Every structure is written in structure tokens, then in C-alpha cells.
Amino acid sequence: MAFYITKVTATGIGKTPAIVTFNKGLNLICGVSDSGKTCVLKCIQFAMGVIKKPFEQEQTGYDSVSLDIMTSDGSIHLSRTLGKNIVNVVTEIASIDGGNYDIEYKSNGNKNPVLNELWLKLIGIDGLPMIISNQDFTRQRLKWNTLMRLFWLKEQDIENPKSVLLPSTPTQHPYFFACLLYLITGDNYPKGEEQDKDEISKAKRDAVRQFVNGRISQMSKKREELQQALSAFGDIDVEAEIQRLIDNLSETEESIAAATEESKDLLSTLLNFKEKEAETKVTYSHFQSLKSQYTADIKRLTFIVDSEVHLHSVDKNEKCPFCDGSIQPKERKSYIKASKAELNRIIKQLKGLVESENDVVATLDQVQGKIGSLEGRRSEIEKWIETELTPQAEKLREGIQQYRSYIQLQKESSVLHTVSQDWITELQKQEDSEDSDKPKFKPKEHFPVDFNSRIDEIAYSVLTDCKYENLNTAHFNMGTFDLEVNGLSKEDSHGKGYWAFINTVLGLTFRQYLQEDAVHKPGIFVVDTPLLGLDQGVEDNAPTSMRTALFQYFIDNQSKGQMIVVENTKDLPHLNYEAGGAKVIEFTQGKYKSKYKESRYGFLHDVYSNGDSNS
């Protein structure tokens, strides 16, 4: 039972209903930026129960969305109010119940049917298949939201450098492959039972895991403490800082060594001058003693001379003072001449001594001056070493020690991490060894044998129709789940301007494959902005001929099911879409007069900005 969308409507109290109708084939929604093109698609997704809201009620005044679809058995009308997780369904189809549907499955069960099952039924899937979601055969419900990745290319995904089809989370890939496999084959592999673990083995593994996790927890706490200590150092380059401090310390120690050596040299010179000072002082002392001796001698000789002069002026005594008898006085010997001669000699020596003493005093002054200068310089050096160089060296050593402590902390943290990882690895080895004999579900191994060749064939055909320049080969890589054109991935072969183009081609390839080869056929294809990149000014855009051929392909392949294409008017190739049977809806925002039959200001009425950015 194929279906296609006939109408989407947004309503609100006091608001003119915003309506867009669709035909069974190609529908092109175009317009200027922020006019509501993507908002139309979001309204469809909202009514399908895929997203929580298509626009802001406070900004737009609209609060409800309805969706009309058509099948070979009749029509269905769905309506949903913002903020509600219920969709009301009115149906003409006997096999589909009307009434309220829940958006999500609830853990305690649902009173209402769930909308997911309605959409699955519309593509021929009755009941609710439980799909294998991982290699251990764990199962979960088949979800419409997951299947939509195959035929609904969103604007935020269209420039994906990786596969546009795969979920962004790798853990979801096995489930996605299993869902695709179910679409293709209708087989959910009911014989694949979830593997039960042996109770004893499980108890052992749990005990080991508990022990290991306990040890890892202890290590983690210790490592957390180390990380907190490490955080004090910030994001500095520790190795560079240590080298800088070592270089500075070397320079400082060299300065200390040079200053110490200079101090030693000064001390040696100072001792020499001290010795010379002592010798000079001894000489000066000797001169002072000799000078005193000469002065005393001069005084003595002067006294002798003076005495001789006085004695010669006294009359000679010719009578005895006791008996008064006559005596013969002796002739006195005079020392005046000799004394004068001696006095002259000493005076000359004293004069020479004074001159020598003056020389000694001058030498002593010079030596003491040099000693003072040397002692002052040595004191400056000692003070420089003590107050500047030594504290600076000590500070640098402390800094080096701190950074070495940082490195030690890093090593300890790394060791703890490595040991923890080793524990985990060993635990994983044990778990893997326990499960080595268990069967594993690998969905890619169950794809039809001709799956790759068919995808390659269709992709080459689509690329040819789209006039891909210099096309040689097209190959679908099952590993990356993406196209490789001319032996190269789109990341390696072209820039961002090609990514949206090739992703669209991949979507069209799967559209044709599912339509021709799958048991269950979605029958609808939606792509939002396949020429994205043109309005962003990216380099390496797909050539004009390719872009035109892509839209011609849309026109030529309407019979394979409904297509809804959203694109900016300014990037739209110049083709006669309406003559080709396509329906064109254009939003102009009053900036120009549209050449298409169906056009208006924007999607939501009386809303200045009504779509792409705020929805």
C-alpha cells in the first residue's frame, strides 16, 4: 500500500491557515532564505511524530499541524497540536484504525496505538517486527524514524562528508543495517535468539568485574587527586619551562662562579696589599723610632755644648775649698768641637730620615687607598652574590623542582591510567574468550548477493543521467556505506560543493533500488537543498551542467514515487518544471514577482520570519 502526501496545513486561533498541497510526482518548494521552505518539511515531520515542534507558537501564532495523505485504498488525515504527544487520525481505510495515536512507546504500555505502526503499515509492514539491534541478537522495534534516513535527506545532513544515510552514532549502525535488511528482504531472522549467558560463567565474570572495577575505582580516585594537583599548573609547556629555568639557572650559576672567582682574585690582591701595608707601617715605625733617637741625640749634644760654654765662663778654682790651700787647677778638655761635628752629622741624618719618612707615608696612603678600593669592590661582589644571585638560583631550583614534581605526577597519572586500561583489557579478553563460541549477527553478511552490484549499477546510471563530469566508475563501499566515484571518496575527490550533490545521488540510488528490489517500498523521497553550498560561497561547486541535469532527473523520474525537493530560487536551474509535470510552490517574501502558478509571500501567513531559521 504505497502512499503520498497531498496536503500539509498549519493552523492557529485567529490565523489564516497556511496550506501547501502536493501532487503524486515531483513537488518543488523554492523561495528566498527564511521564507518557510524547510518549515513545510518540519510540519510534515511533526505530524508524522518525528520531531517535537516545527515552529515557535509564541512567535508565529500557529499551534497545530495537519497532514493529508493518499493511498490506493483511500485517504488519511492526521492532526497534531504543539506540546501534545498525541496525533488524531481520521481514515477512510478499513485496515487502519482512526482515533488518537501516541507518538512514543511507553515503558508501562500504551492505551492508544502508536503512530510508528501506522506508518509501517502504510508501506506494507503489518504487526510490529522486532529487529536485531546488535551482534548478540538483542532486539528492538522497527522504527519509522530510522527508516526515514533512507528517503528523507535533511538540510543539516546534506553536506555530510561521510555517508548521508548512516546514523551519526556508530553504535546505531547495526540496527540501521538490520532495518534496511528488513525493508529489502522482509526477514527479521526470527531464529536468531538472544544469547543467554551461563549463570556460573556470569557469576565469575561479575566477581572479576566487581574486583577489577573496585581496583579501577581506587586508581581513578588517586588519579583524580593527581589531576587536581596537575590542574594547578594550567596548560603550560612544562618541558619548555624546565629547559628555560635550567638555562636561566646555568646563567645564574655561571655569574656566581665568575663573581666568586673575581672575589678570590680581589682577595689575593688585597692580601698582597695588606702585606705591603704592614711592611710599610713597620718601616714607618722604625723611622719614627730613629727620628726619636736622632732628636734625643740632638738634644743631648746641644746640652753638652751649652754646658761647655757655661763651664768655660767660670773662673778656675786655685784654692782648696776645705783647707784654703793653693792648688794647681787642671786644664779642662773641651768637647764643643766634637759635639758640634756630631750634631751636624746627626742633623743631616735626620733630614734624610724625614725625606724617607715622607716617601713611606705617601706609599702607605697609596697602599691603603688601593686596599679600600679592593675591599669595597669585594664587598659589592659578596653582597651581589648573597642578596641577588644566590636567592635567584635558589628560586630557579625550586621552580625546576616544582616542574619535575609535575612530570612525576604526570608519570604517576599515566601509570595509573595504563594499569587501569590493562585491567580493562584483561577483563575484556576474559569476556571475549567467554563469548568466542557464541554466534554473532552481522547484518551486512545477509544482504542479497547482488546488493553491491545493483547499487553500483544504479549509481552509475543516475550519475550518467546527471551528467557527472569525467565519470568513469561508480562503486558503493559497504564499509563506509557511501559512494566512491572514479575510485575516490567524496572527501578525497572534491570539496564541499560536490558533497550535497553526491549525497543526493546516493539518496536517489537507494530510492530506485528500494522501489525495484525491496519487499517494502517507502514510495516517497524528500531532499532539502540538494544544491546547498552555492548560497554559502563554498569552493569546488558542482558545475552548472550537473546541477541542471540533477533537476532534470527529478522531472524525468516522477513515476518512481512522490518527490519533494526544497531549494533556494536563486540556485534553481532554469528548467520548465511545470511543463514537465512538476508542481512548484514558491515563497517570495514580496521581493519579486514569481513566474510560477502557485506562489505567495511565505508559508506561515502574517509572520515576518516564518520558517527556516526559527523553526
pLDDT computed for residue 292 by the predictor: 83
Question: Is the residue at 525 inside a domain?
Answer: no
The CA distance from 137 to 139, in Å, is: 6
Compute φ and ψ for 342, nearest 5 degrees: -65, -40
DSSP structural state of residue 447: S
Alpha-carbon distance of 547 to 244, in angstroms, equals: 59
Residue 103 within any structural domain of the chain:
yes
Q: Are residues 283 and 412 in the same domain?
A: yes
Which one of 360, 392, 416 terminates a domain?
416
At residue 198, the pLDDT reads 44
Which pLDDT score, from 0 to 100, does residue 200 have? 46
Amino acid at 216: I
Structure confidence at residue 427 (pLDDT):
63
- Reading the block at residue 453, the C-alpha cell is 552490484
Residue 323: inside a domain: yes
Last residue of a domain, one of 387, 416, 445: 416
Domain residue limits at 34 = 1-123+565-615
Q: Are residues 262 and 399 in the same domain?
A: yes
**Cα 502 to Cα 163: distance, rounded to the nearest angstrom:** 10
Residue 532 is assigned to a structural domain of this protein: no
Cell of 232: 594547578
In a domain, 86, yes or no: yes
Q: How far apart are CA 453 and CA 442, in angstroms?
A: 20
CB 81 within 8 A of CB 63: yes
Question: What one-letter code names the amino acid at 533?
Answer: G
> What count of other Cβ atoms lies within 10 Å of the Cβ of residue 118?
21
Residue type, position 151, single letter: F
402 in any annotated domain: yes
**257 and 391 in one domain?**
yes
Q: Which of 390, 416, 442 is where one domain is finished? A: 416
Cα–Cα dist 364/377, whole Å: 20
| pTM, full prediction | 0.62
Domain total of the chain? 2
Asked if residue 210 is part of any domain, the answer here is: no
Q: What is the pLDDT of residue 93?
A: 94
What averages of pLDDT result for each successive group of 10 residues across the chain (615 residues)?
A: 91 95 96 92 96 94 97 96 96 94 93 95 90 84 93 91 91 92 88 51 62 66 64 67 77 82 81 81 80 78 74 66 72 68 78 78 81 82 83 79 67 69 68 60 89 95 93 92 90 78 95 95 94 58 85 94 94 93 93 89 82 47
Is residue 367 in a domain?
A: yes
* Amino acid making up residue 107: S
